[in-house]
Structure 1
Amino acid sequence: MSEESKKSLVPHFVIAAIVLAIVLAVVFWPAEPEPVIIAPVEPVIEPIVEPIVEPIIEAPPVIFIPEVVEQQPEPEIIPEPEPLDTSDGTVKTKLLALSDYEAFARLLIDEALLERFVIMTNTLADENLADNNRVLVQPEKPFRTYRQADKEWIDPASFKRYVPYVEVFESLETESLLQLYQEYKPAIEKIFSEISSPSDSFDEKLEEAIDVLLNTPEVPFPVEVYSDSVMYKFADKQLESLTAPQKQLLRTGPENMRRIKTKLREIKETL
């Protein structure tokens, strides 16, 4: 019990002791044979016990500290992107901006450029040629051969007709070309999804198409060919067994093929 509790019970103990003393005196007082005149009992005056006043401890004043509210920056309003312009005119303009060669405009087909690019890439990855979906026009000059020792050979003059295409291809800045590819990626993937299975990836198809061309073997020239009344074929059975894209790359000539492969490797590494 605490000291304060003991102090608060002192008045009650004093009163109880006085009452108990009176009761004992009455009960155990010795009996006299003769009547006894009991003098009047003086009133018991209870001592006045002043109440113990516990000190009032005032609580410390509450100091109000205003809460500092951190100023939140206003949310940045991001404008919605403008819809992608996939029109042939816009696509062609952006492609032409990647090269300084005026010949590029004459070589580029104006119709359905994105669709042609997707179909051509997908067909090339499957080791075929998409003759009806070319991105570039065909050379105006015909394929030429010459005869020697009763055999027919590819005329090196035929290689010159591919030089404008190679020069335009080399002039395309690779980083800018791939940025344009990423810009039109949503439209390209949408077109690709319509002609492929859901598990196919256009990025993978693009790399496969590049690999098909890079795997074209280097062969010594001149190269012997023969005609079957419809088209020219390679006299060497190993060359004739190559894929259609690889045989087409061989027909561009050794120097053009070397330059094309160099650019393709650069694009593949950047991809």
Structure 2
Amino acid sequence: MADSESTKKNSLLPYALIGGVLLIALAALFFWQSGAKAPVEQPKPLPKPEVQQPEPQPEPDIVPEPEMPAEPVERPEPTPAPEPEPAEPLDVSDGAVKTAVLETGSYEALARLIVDDDLLRRFVVFSNNLANKEVAPSHRVLQPPQQEFRVYRQAGKEWIDTASYKRYTPYVEALESMETEQLLALYEVYKPAINEIFAEVGDSSSDFDGVLEEAINHLLDTPEVPVPVEVSTDSVMYKYTDERLESLSAPQKQLLRTGPENMRLIKAKLREIRDALAQQ
């Protein structure tokens, strides 16, 4: 048994009090004969002087000797509880943060995709811009795909090649491998550091939890589009021919470029994360 447990038990013991004083007063009642037998008639002798018998004295009451008070039982001095050691400061270095993120899912897959520097700040800035329906390319948290965006021509029109969608399959698989509960637990651990960064770059009247939820909801509002999807180019970049799609925000158009199946899986994971956040 540990010293702390022994000390705790000793402290719960009542003080030992030995004997209480038991006082019983015994009253002894002594009954004496009240007279002598009547004498037989004989010649009367000369009278003798009466000898007066002394009256019996009552026996004194027996008073018990007072008991000596019991000496108090000596208790061992309680061992003071050890002072709690101060918590080590949170390691917000890039290496520590990235390692913690990698441990929530497929380590190797995530290691190839997540950026190595300034990860917490990138996450905060990227989420804040996303909530504002903007993209912050300089603050992306994932490496861009190595393969180029591809289109094909048919009937005098340009369409997004399905090979372009496959570029994002590794990202989706890595996202699906991440445990939502671990992600939320990690988010709680780093929330103080995240809030400090957000106080520098975001709206001081806003809460980052709300910003994150708003960013997720904005992506979930991206419409589902059947393939193939027609695009056009102005020699600088490709645009959606459908004006309804082209009028979407930059983050929503980027999500569309992942393809219908990838977008379905991404949305499912985002809903799971959003619902878990709402229950915290």
Q: TM-score range by the shorter chain?
A: 0.7 to 0.9
1:129 shift after superposition: 0.5
* Residue 264 of structure 1, aligned match among 270, 274, 279: 270
In 2, Cα distance between equivalents of 1:253 and 1:142: 15
**2:180 paired with 1:174:** yes
Instruction: Provide the rounded CA distance (Å) in 2 between the counterparts of 1:107 and 1:152.
Output: 30
Residue 130 (structure 2) aligns with? 124
The answer to whether the aligner puts 1:208 opposite 2:247 as a matched pair is no
Residues 1:253 and 2:259 are matched in the alignment: yes
Q: Specify whether residues 191 and 66 from structure 1 end up closer, same or farther in structure 2 by C-alpha distance, changes over 3 A only.
A: farther
The superposition leaves residues 88-146 of structure 1 with CA deviations (integer Å, 9 ceiling, x where unpaired) of 01111111111224121111110100010000000000001010001010000000001
How high is the sequence identity, in percent, across the aligned residues?
59
Report the equivalent of 2:113.
Answer: 107
Aligned to 2:38: none
2:148 to 142, 153, 158: 142
Gaps of 5+ in 1: 1-60
1:192 aligns with 2:198: yes
Partner SS, residue 194 of structure 1: helix
In structure 2, distance between residues paired with 1:73 and 1:123: 56
Amino acid of the structure 1 residue aligned with 2:272: E
**Unmatched runs of 5 consecutive residues or more in structure 2:** 1-65
Q: Does 1:155 align with 2:180?
A: no
1:18-64, CA deviations, whole angstroms, 9 ceiling, x for partnerless residues? Answer: xxxxxxxxxxxxxxxxxxxxxxxxxxxxxxxxxxxxxxxxxxx9xx9
The more displaced of 85-94 and 71-80 is 71-80
* Corresponding residue number in structure 2 for 1:240: 246
Residue matched to 1:98:
104
Distance 2:107 2:169 in 1: 12
Distance in 2 between residues matched to 1:164 and 1:101, nearest whole Å: 13
Deviation at 1:211, TM superposition (A): 0.5
SS in 2 for 1:197: coil
Q: What SS does structure 2 have at the residue aligned with 1:77?
A: coil
Q: Look up the equivalent residue of 2:89 and give its one-letter code.
A: P
C-alpha root-mean-square deviation of aligned residues, in Å?
Answer: 2.1
TM-score by length of 2: 0.70
- CA–CA distance in structure 2, aligned partners of residues 269 and 73 of structure 1: 48
Cα deviation per residue 1:141-162 (whole Å; 9 max; x = unaligned)?
A: 0000011111110001111110
Q: CA deviation at 1:66?
A: 11
Q: Deviations over 1:66-100 (max 9, x none)?
A: 99xxx999556332211010000111111111122
| Distance of 1:174 and 1:243 partners within structure 2 | 27
Letter in 1 for 2:88: E
User: Who is 1:79 aligned against?
Assistant: 85
TM-score by structure 1 length? 0.72
CA distance in 1 between counterparts of 2:167 and 2:246 reads 22
CA distance in 2, matches of 1:75, 1:97: 36
Deviation at 1:197, TM superposition (A): 2.5
Distance, in Å, in 2 between the alignment partners of 1:65 and 1:206 is: 71
Structure 2 counterpart of 1:134, which letter? Answer: R
CA distance in 2 between counterparts of 1:252 and 1:230 reads: 20
1:252 alignment partner, SS class: coil
Size of the aligned set, in residue pairs, is: 209
SS at match of 1:84: coil
**Cα offset, 1:191, TM superposition:** 0.4
